Amino acid sequence: MESKIFTTALNHLKLFGQSGLPKYEDEWTHFASICASFPDVKVLSNSNSTNYIFYFINSLLKMLFIFESVEVLSFGMGTKCLGASQLDKNGYSINDSHAEVLARRGFVGFLFEEFQNVYFGLVSKYFYLVDSKIGLIDGVKFHFCASHTPCGDASIFSVNEAENSVMNSSRPMHADDIFRTGAKCVLSGPQDPHGKLNKFHIVSQFRTKPGRGKIAIFFTY
């Protein structure tokens, strides 16, 4: 299922052509997506509904979620964020344009739109409304996928824990080393010791990303 979700997200990228993609060999970017999976309600839709054998098989397949459809709900690309000097005091500029942050923003927009539709009596294949409360339809699942671990604690883990030994790193890696993050601890809290190997970072700290110049923003939902 993981492979199907990731493939669906990558295929969504093709809809935009070269928009937002690196244009030169020395450029690169990351992508992130939030997808939904749900039982395919048309597994045996061509069968005669009066045939109880087909009806039983169809119901069983739905219950076991053997056949699932996947849809891309939100998609983003980016690796940068604005520096403190570029932030707008009125909040009109987007600070963080990392792929996973943009994907989350798009997903929040999707949720607001779906909730509004449900409250106004429109049909949703994700949510239902009962007694003024919104519930998730049975079998619906939301998935986050990304081409790289998000900045922060998610990127701080032992080399030995890496499932894939081929990780992007610009420095030699020791077996007792850890992968690192560019996110910095806020000045009001504990700081990374920057020691050797697995003593370079501490975890469970509030972090921010330093800005890296002007950026282009791209996200959809």
Catalytic machinery residues: 100
Q: Which residues of 51-79 are buried (b: 16+ CB within 10 A; e: fewer)?
A: eeeeeeebeeebeeeeebebebbbbbbbb
Helix or strand run (H / E) with residue 100 = helix 99-119
Phi, psi of 26 (to 5 degrees): -95, 10
Helix or strand run (H / E) with residue 2 = helix 2-13
Bridge partner list, 220: 75
Q: What is the DSSP letter of 137?
A: P
The string of DSSP codes covering 29-64 is: --EEEEEEEEE-TTTTTTS-TT-HHHHHHHHHHHHH
Give the span between the Cα atoms of 47 and 213, in whole angstroms: 59
Phi-psi region at 132: left, alpha or beta (left = phi > 0; alpha = psi -120 to 50): left
